[in-house]
Amino acid sequence: MDHQPKFFENLSGTGKAIGVLTSGGDAQGMNAAVRAVVRMGIYVKAKVYFVYEGYQGMVDGGDNIVEVSWESVSSILQVGGTVIGSARCKSFRTREGRLQAAYNLVQRGITNLCVIGGDGSLTGANLFREEWSGLLEELAQKGKIDEDAVKKYAYLNIVGMVGSIDNDFCGTDMTIGTDSALHRIIEVVDAIMTTAQSHQRTFVLEVMGRHCGYLALVSALACGADWVFIPEYPPEEGWEDSMCVKLSENRARKKRLNIIIVAEGAIDCHNKPITSEKVKDLVVQRLGFDTRVTILGHVQRGGTPSAFDRILASRMGVEAVLALLEATPATPACVVSLSGNQAVRLPLMECVQMTQEVQKAMDEGRFVEAVRLRGRSFENNLNTYKLLSHKKPDAELPKTNFNVAVLNVGAPAAGMNAAVRAAVRVGITEGHKMFAVIDGFEGFARGKIKEISWGYVGGWTGQGGSILGTKRTLPAKYLEKIADQMRTNNINALMVIGGFEAYLGLLELSAAREKYDEFCVPMVMVPATVSNNVPGSDFSIGADTALNTITDTCDRIKQSASGTKRRVFIIETMGGYCGYLANMGALAAGADAAYIFEEQFDIRELQANVEHLTEKMKTSIQRGLVLRNENCNENYTTDFIYQLYSEEGKGVFDCRKNVLGHMQQGGAPSPFDRNFGTKISAKAMQWISKKLKETYRKGKVFANTDDSVCLLGMRRRNLVFQPVAELKNETDFVHRIPKEQWWLKLRPLMKILAKYKTSYDVSDSGQLEHVAMHSPKEAETGAI
């Protein structure tokens, strides 16, 4: 899209006052949003006020509405909940209460409100905005404010951000707090699995979600639960029998544990509640299994926000301030939200109405409609779960006589195993025989290949690393041997899950098609690497887990630095030449600087960073955090930067360095990586089935066109299949990175939040979109 970049420097907040409040239930990441609003507001020279205790504080006024400074929001990024408090407020529901709130805001000249909360809080804000001029008239009549104030503060602008762990708000893919709540649930499930395994137990887990089954559904998908109950998709009549049959079949297949996940608002098709106790009693009475109930409760709201929530909330907070600066009396109250990885603005009331429509559909028993209204991401999660959790009896499975091989290539990445599991199970459902290749292309050449069953990949979603084994070796030197193995095992299609080596490997195999007919089969690649450096995809499996590892470590290091005072840490991250981990890690951890290869820097910039930190040490925030990508510059090494900072900072601060190394490749996959790996891999397998049908002629598969070797990647808002040949032009092969990377646009964000002057291209933001009702067809074509 050729547009003139539009920079926000032209948007001045001088003379404007912004109030920020959190309302309704708390959610992890709210503090990151508050921090971003405050710092961006101050950056554009607006006054920013905290409104403590939500609407209650706005009604009570006094010390509850306080002007804040840059340092007021220091050290809150990693804190769960909300530091400015949240309260349910009855008085704001009355006109009298809103009149008092309007008076308190006018006293301080606040006519811009940023509300972080659920749909109830945002609806309240919209009503307040609609009544605003009437409230001011009434205050003037009562002699509380003069006519000048009525004119001067004539309009109230409102921007909402959705903070809710349930992800129950239509129009946004993810609400602030959802990802962190999934982290809490998955931590518990992983822990329970080990004890359940020891005793051959069944566990019934109850998760939050009174009106929305998102947490239950995604956690079921992320841990491979045997059964899930959600309000939007009640089980059919006779579910008790089906569930017990499924559980006993799993036991018969030597599965030592069963996990059943129940959303607290789960219902049957007659709108009667299904409780976790009811499910437990059923299993005990019918099957006699040793069964336990665990209710997660408020654990899900607690703990530190995940890297995803911090980045999401920081982006939303900055976007909210921009939306307030650009607002006119004619613009409707809007919500800033996320669609794919795009920040968007949507009319607040359209979102609220759509959210209420879902509830109405459920109350009236229109459940198919309720699922559709929840949005395409929810619908895809549900379809994928149904596809992977229940194996049809062999007699009901189609038989295609196609053999499909799956292999991992490159360095290990958390979530690879979830992707393999999804591929194997979808393949078997589609009627293919699935083969696993051990140890990448090297293992392929040596004939390390075996048929793999549905049950074999059970329990793989939560395992880190690569169970199949993975190697960086490229296929070029083994072409003859790999072709032999493809012929011997009659392999009709290849699915490669891996990083940059997997991409190079597919390019080599497709180039070898002229010489070897065996490679004239459909091949697809699913990107999996912590570096997130594969062309054709905005995200790759494993990067989110690595980012969380970096963020957790930085939190601990910041704590250490805060204790000792006047200390700066230099932290080296992985990523090859790709600065994704360093840049996003810096945004999530609240770092002062991040050195990356994509943005060249020189000694003057290093000097400026040292001076910036020297100034910072004069404030109450006496610590520094600097991230450096491992290959950002061959001469300015981590040691060099450490020594330079140590020398230049003498007498002001001291320095420590930390190389994070391979811990970034390890650990259990994050919920995002499990879910992303599962969905993207299932979709890739369906593409293989389609291609096999298209290319089967005269008793054999023959595919030699470019579009039969594809990479499946996430692009902005959709999953897209792209021929690897076409991606060549988008690739910098020397440095193994894509020529254009979306996340570089977020780089100024990190600098602004660390108090650097910079220019920020806001061309992508600022358009108010409408809430799209998607057609069922759209769910198939690629939304994640």
Catalytic residues: 166
3-state SS string for 84-123: CCCCCCCHHHCHHHHHHHHHHHHHCCCCEEEEEECHHHHH
Cα(182)–Cα(207) distance, integer angstroms: 10
Q: What share of the chain is helix, strand, coil (3-state, %, to 5)?
A: 45, 20, 35
Cα(493)–Cα(434) distance, integer angstroms: 10
371: left (phi over 0), alpha (psi -120 to 50) or beta: alpha
Name the nearest CA neighbour of 25 among 168, 234, 217. 168
Do the Cβ atoms of 294 and 259 come closer than 8 Å? Answer: no
Other CB atoms within 10 A of residue 45 CB? 11
Cα(130)–Cα(463) distance, integer angstroms: 52
The distance from CA 737 to its chain's CA centroid, rounded to whole angstroms, is 22
Unique residue bearing structure tokens 């709540």: 181
Tokens of 492: 């009709």
DSSP state of 410: S
DSSP per residue, 438-480: SSHHHHHHTT-EEE--TGGGTT-TT--S-SS-EE---GGGGHH
Backbone angles phi, psi at 183, to 5 degrees: -55, -45
Cα(147)–Cα(120) distance, integer angstroms: 32
Tokens of 365: 């028993």
Name the nearest CA neighbour of 150 among 165, 164, 167, 137. 137
Do the Cβ atoms of 610 and 646 come closer than 8 Å? Answer: no
Amino acid occupying residue 565: K
Name the nearest CA neighbour of 214 among 163, 267, 243, 173. 173
Q: How many residues does the chain have?
A: 784
User: Each residue of 666-691: b (16+ CB within 10 Å) or e?
Assistant: eebbbbbbbbbbbbbbbbbbbbbbeb
Q: If DSSP codes are grouped into helix, strand and coil, which group holds residue 767?
A: coil
Do the Cβ atoms of 678 and 551 come closer than 8 Å? Answer: no
Name the nearest CA neighbour of 765 among 162, 122, 316. 316
